[in-house]
């Protein structure tokens, strides 16, 4: 095993090596990010690789999953840069035959120090001469390459290409594979950024193309159909005379249904839209305006620019509905979390300051009360953080939800008993459990979390009214009902309350505290267990939330162990803040 001193020296050398790699990759990221041309990124990547890994050839290939072809993007052999067009497109072998195909299908790098032996395996292999001549091996002779490193190029986890580094004289080591893999990752990020910039410039060109519509007329129709922005021409009578392909895709209206119709029939409240979109003179810079627009009972947010032409006004628009929704969610998140964090942080700060400045004059009871306040508010802060992190996991699809047979009756009984101690004494909970209901299929802890959220929600918004909890079974489905007799929920809000951060009082002046994530989390968890969560309510008559979970028949009967998982653990993993006394 070696002496401790020897192991320490080895560990120190390994740490020094990793530090050198990290510094090299940091410098590579900085240098590769300085260019906005994908082709130049490949050249700079090759220059950086030359400094750290000896090689006789390098090939950068892209992979298009639409036609399953591997194509050369950059090639260099023994000092000569070759034309990528001379390399044939190679079909992907999904069985993993061929080294490039193996790297693409597996998503893992490949180290080969017996290249000449590998080419006898299933697949297509070429030997590349420094003048660009391609020899198919082993059919046309023995491969001159001795060793190769092949690393996948990835974009958000998806393989989009392969980098091959080859040597005729020497073997490669796993450490060199690690180094090449790091450089390839930096190159991929730089290429992606360069292509995004290239796309941005393309969109700027599209706006310029829109301004040329009036002058180009017949020729412009072909150009406009290739543009990514929606474009339409409105003549002096307010009739649409041109409606391009992108406009069809954005609105769902085909050109045959839009061209020749008054623009006011396509866009509701068109007069108000036209008044707010400035129309630039031909050749002048156009200013964009983003507006909500109703099209066929759908509300879209469209960014408009408009230019005067000989035959009317040319409008170009881009659908920013998704970006707008994301901005709204960000604003709601900041407003909600800021509001929710302010109260516990102020309480913790106030209690801590009182203990710090007046500890000697406080009675023991006063000190314990302040410490309890700090603990309670710290738990509340932890709850807020847990909800935000859980929401993030749900959105990313990273949360694992178990599927097992769960005795819902026992679980609900235990959860209600635990929750009673956390609610105000004035809040009463009645419980009606049909013991013949049987078991449900789901995740025990997540069902308990959903039930806690619904009971807490009923207590928070029910105005102190009694809460009714029921468990029943019908048509192979186990139902958990949580009902209150509070002010109820309007029909317009009954779906929106399951959205992230939605609050009936958006200014947060009158709404009870909360992140606005509880019902969103609850519905997401129930749906991931194969169930459904819905609400029925009339204003002034309370609200009834119903969780429907599939029966456990498909999973088999419950375990007969009386001390097993069918018994509740009332104090475990209840997600929610403790209430202040």
Mean of pLDDT values over 553-576: 42
CA distance 310 to 452: 66
pLDDT level of residue 507 (50, 70, 90 thresholds) = very low
Confidence at residue 103, expressed as pLDDT on a 0 to 100 scale: 92
pLDDT of 559 higher than 50: no
Residues ≥6 apart with Cβ < 8 Å to 220: 209, 212, 213
CATH 3.30.450.20 at 212-316, yes or no: yes
Confidence at residue 214, expressed as pLDDT on a 0 to 100 scale: 45
For residue 228, which of 252, 255, 210 has the smallest C-alpha distance? Answer: 210
CA distance 509 to 143: 76
pLDDT of 65 higher than 80: yes
Alpha-carbon separation of residue 369 from 193, 358, 374, 580 (angstroms): 55, 14, 9, 11
pLDDT of 399 higher than 70: yes
From the candidate CATH numbers 3.40.50.300, 3.30.565.10, 3.40.366.10, 3.30.70.2740, the one assigned to the domain spanning 404-555: 3.30.565.10
Least confident among 333-342, 352-361, 460-469: 333-342
Confidence at residue 21, expressed as pLDDT on a 0 to 100 scale: 62
Least confident among 3-7, 40-44, 242-246, 305-309: 3-7
Note the Cα 43 to chain centre separation in Å: 32
Mean of pLDDT values over 229-251: 86
H helices present in 359-430, as ranges: 364-396, 408-420
List the domain boundaries for the chain: 10-199, 212-316, 323-396, 404-555
Question: Which numeric CATH code is attached to 10-199?
Answer: 3.30.450.40
Please tell me the class of the 323-396 domain: mainly alpha
DSSP annotation of 551 reads B
Percent of the chain's residues with pLDDT above 70: 80
What's the chain's average pLDDT? 79
pLDDT of 239 higher than 80: yes
The pLDDT tens digits for 373-394 are 778 777 767 777 777 777 777 7
Alpha-carbon separation of residue 281 from 4, 212, 238, 306, 312 (angstroms): 80, 11, 18, 9, 11
Token code pair at residue 503: 């609050």
Confidence at residue 4, expressed as pLDDT on a 0 to 100 scale: 65
Mean of pLDDT values over 549-573: 50
Yes or no: say if 545 and 450 are a contact pair by the CB < 8 Å rule: no
Same fold, 212-316 and 323-396: no
Alpha-carbon separation of residue 475 from 439, 478, 548 (angstroms): 13, 8, 11
Q: How far apart are the first and last CA of the chain?
A: 60
**How many C-alpha atoms does 485 have within 13 Å on its Cβ side?**
9
pLDDT level of residue 539 (50, 70, 90 thresholds) = confident
């Amino acid at each position: 095993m070696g002496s401790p001193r020897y192991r320490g020296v080895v560990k120190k050398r390994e740490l020094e090596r990793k530090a050198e790699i990290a510094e090299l990759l940091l410098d590579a990221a900085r240098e590769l990010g300085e260019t906005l041309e994908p082709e130049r990124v490949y050249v700079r990547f090759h220059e950086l690789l030359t400094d750290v890994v000896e090689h006789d050839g390098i090939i950068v290939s892209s992979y298009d999953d639409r036609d399953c072809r591997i194509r050369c993007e950059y090639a260099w052999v023994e000092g000569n840069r070759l034309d990528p067009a001379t390399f044939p497109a190679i079909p992907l072998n999904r069985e993993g035959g061929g080294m490039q195909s193996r790297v693409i299908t597996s998503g893992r790098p490949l180290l080969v120090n017996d290249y000449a032996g590998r080419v006898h395996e299933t697949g297509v292999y070429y030997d590349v001469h420094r003048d660009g001549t391609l020899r198919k091996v082993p059919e046309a002779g023995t491969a001159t390459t001795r060793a190769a490193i092949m690393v996948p190029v990835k974009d958000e986890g998806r393989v989009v290409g392969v980098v091959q580094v080859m040597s005729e004289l020497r073997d490669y080591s796993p450490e060199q594979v690690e180094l090449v893999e790091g450089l390839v990752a930096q190159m991929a990020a730089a290429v992606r950024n360069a292509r995004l910039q290239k796309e941005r410039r393309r969109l700027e060109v599209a706006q310029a193309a829109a301004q040329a519509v009036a002058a180009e007329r017949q020729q412009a129709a072909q150009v406009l159909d290739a543009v990514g922005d929606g474009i339409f021409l409105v003549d002096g009578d307010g009739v649409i005379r041109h409606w391009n392909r992108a406009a069809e895709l954005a609105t769902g209206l085909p050109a045959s249904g839009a061209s020749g119709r008054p623009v006011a029939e396509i866009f509701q409240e068109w007069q108000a839209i036209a008044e707010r979109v400035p129309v630039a003179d031909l050749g002048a810079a156009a200013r964009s305006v983003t507006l909500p627009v109703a099209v066929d009972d759908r509300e879209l947010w469209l960014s408009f620019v408009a230019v005067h032409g000989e035959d009317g006004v040319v409008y170009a628009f881009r659908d920013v509905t998704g970006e707008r929704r994301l901005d709204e969610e960000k604003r709601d998140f900041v407003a909600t979390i800021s509001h929710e964090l302010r109260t516990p942080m102020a309480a913790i700060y106030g209690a801590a300051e009182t203990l710090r400045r007046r500890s000697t004059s406080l009675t023991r009871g006063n000190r314990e009360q302040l410490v309890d306040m700090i603990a309670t508010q710290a738990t509340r802060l932890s709850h807020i953080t847990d909800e935000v992190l859980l929401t993030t996991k749900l959105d990313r699809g990273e949360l694992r939800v178990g599927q097992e047979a769960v005795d819902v009756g026992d679980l609900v009984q235990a959860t209600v008993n635990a929750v009673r101690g956390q609610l105000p004494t004035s809040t009463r909970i009645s419980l009606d459990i049909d013991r013949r209901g049987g078991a449900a299929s789901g995740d025990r802890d997540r069902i308990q979390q959903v039930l806690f959220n619904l009971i807490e929600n009923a207590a928070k918004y029910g105005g102190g009214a009694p809460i009714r909890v029921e468990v029943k079974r019908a048509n192979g489905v186990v139902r958990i009902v949580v009902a209150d007799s509070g002010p109820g929920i309007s029909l317009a809000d009954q779906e929106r309350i399951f959205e992230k951060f939605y609050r009936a009082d958006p200014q947060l002046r009158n709404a009870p505290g909360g992140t606005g994530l509880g019902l969103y989390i609850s519905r997401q968890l129930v749906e991931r267990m194969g169930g459904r969560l819905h609400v029925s309510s009339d204003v002034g008559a309370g609200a009834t939330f119903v969780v429907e979970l599939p029966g456990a028949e498909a999973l088999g009967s419950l375990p007969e162990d009386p001390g097993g998982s069918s018994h509740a653990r009332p104090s475990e993993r209840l997600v929610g803040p403790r209430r202040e006394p």
